[in-house]
Structure 1
């Protein structure tokens, strides 16, 4: 049975939120995340086999069924991807590799209806309830502008070169800090633990500038444990990504492989 949930923006306003990355094309991890009461899933259509198509729609519907919010990382600043993900019913979009204010303005143009943007509209979509009972264009466009969560990614030195101009674009709800791609852009060692002083400084700057504008900050929590989560929340981070379906599978695989090695070694000793 479909369960009603408040909007992701309402949940964000209540305090820290917790989610996980989804790299598979399976519904199961999304439904499991919903069963355990996570706030959102981060469905990746940038680095995976997913497109913004019927396969993505299946995952968004799984999130609806499990009463968990879905944020879709699209392939880039692409009008078709952004608009369609929202029309399919995603709570919002995460847009990678945002480097300047021009890109940010284009993201808002594609994702918001007038007067905020120029998003194209059609009533034959899930976000419009398929023009069902009581449909009204003015109400629909207003509600969509209020509902959709827009999250650019800060994952390059160019973002920080232009940080004030980017964050001054109206319509940003959160910024996702990507430590791996930021490190790659600066030719630094990749460390999801945020151990590099430059990476730490950039995250602190992002938090400061975002919070001045009532924008939240999303970060990966690695390792996904209480101590790391507390440290990130104390820094001022608002939305924590507590691992992924892939990372938890790898952790289970590593555990099983260690047991396997123990018993295979014992067998070899007995021969």
Structure 2
């Protein structure tokens, strides 16, 4: 319950996106003192399967909190993700309060939701030692974080109804998909007026309800971090493993004055 203790403190937390399906990326992030990893199964080859299980196990061994972005709001995938040991689930393309309520139902046991249970899973410690259902239910309802994504116009059309759903721990803003849905240029800095306005609206609404805000910090510098902090954000994504590889290779090709032609057909 590492992430739970952090989110209940007035403390910033930092993480990276992991797309490469490499446990090494997770272990390296932990070695550099980051707080969480955002493991992607929406845009990467990883599914909610044994490959994801390996990444979650690497996170737990390295003592860095595993958050998993699932491909959609399918209730079976949501339940299996937290049963594998994910500390939270990031759910893309949220469009309605009903969809969020269904996500909460899938991840929380009664009386908070309608999650089905089985003791033979990692989150229940495989029903070994002193396992008891009452304690397990209470611990899971506290441990499993619900993080919907705000990344389309429909989310903001229903923002008050969505944020009023009990059980939301944080909201993650997706600038690329929001820009695509809005018909404006993709801008990960979120400095263009159309993106800045919705981020400020989201931040104000979340701050009113004491819901955490997760934002990408790009460019990754102190100035940008302070701007996002002033909005009320406290969960920051500071890059991703694929981008770090690209940045390293770009520097090498510049330093060595290598040809820039791509081999990609």
Alignment TM class, shorter chain as reference: over 0.9
CA distance in 2 between partners of 1:152 and 1:51 (Å)? 19
Instruction: Name the residue aligned to 1:51.
Output: 47
The answer to which of 92-101 and 224-233 deviates more is 224-233
CA distance in 1 between partners of 2:5 and 2:20 (Å)? 28
Tell me the CA shift for residue 260 of structure 1.
2.8
CA distance in 2 between partners of 1:106 and 1:203 (Å)? 25
DSSP-derived class of the 1:261 partner? coil
Instruction: Name the residue aligned to 1:8.
Output: 3
Question: Is 1:37 aligned to residue 40 of structure 2?
Answer: no
CA distance in 1 between partners of 2:7 and 2:108 (Å)? 19
TM-score by length of 2: 0.95
Structure 1, gaps ≥5 residues long: 1-5, 266-271
CA distance in 1 between partners of 2:115 and 2:198 (Å)? 32
Tell me the CA shift for residue 161 of structure 1.
0.3
Deviations 1:74-123 (A, max 9, x none): 01111111101100001110000000011001101101000111111100
Instruction: Name the residue aligned to 1:218.
Output: 214
Q: How does 1:1-271 map to 2 (within 5 A)?
A: 6-14=1-9, 15-261=11-257
Deviations 1:45-79 (A, max 9, x none): 00000000000000000000100000000011111
DSSP-derived class of the 2:118 partner? coil
Tell me the CA shift for residue 176 of structure 1.
0.1
Dislocated runs of 4+, deviation >3 Å: none
Tell me the CA shift for residue 10 of structure 1.
1.4
CA distance in 2 between partners of 1:109 and 1:12 (Å)? 21
- Between the two proteins, the alignment pairs up a number of residues equal to 259
Tell me the CA shift for residue 225 of structure 1.
2.0
CA distance in 2 between partners of 1:225 and 1:55 (Å)? 33
Tell me the CA shift for residue 24 of structure 1.
0.6
The answer to which of 228-237 and 28-37 deviates more is 228-237
The answer to which of 144-153 and 191-200 deviates more is 191-200
CA distance in 2 between partners of 1:226 and 1:252 (Å)? 21
DSSP-derived class of the 1:158 partner? helix
CA distance in 2 between partners of 1:190 and 1:34 (Å)? 30
Tell me the CA shift for residue 9 of structure 1.
2.0
Tell me the CA shift for residue 227 of structure 1.
2.0
CA distance in 2 between partners of 1:212 and 1:9 (Å)? 20
CA distance in 1 between partners of 2:124 and 2:169 (Å)? 22
How well do the aligned residues superpose, as a CA RMSD in angstroms? 1.2
TM-score by length of 1: 0.93
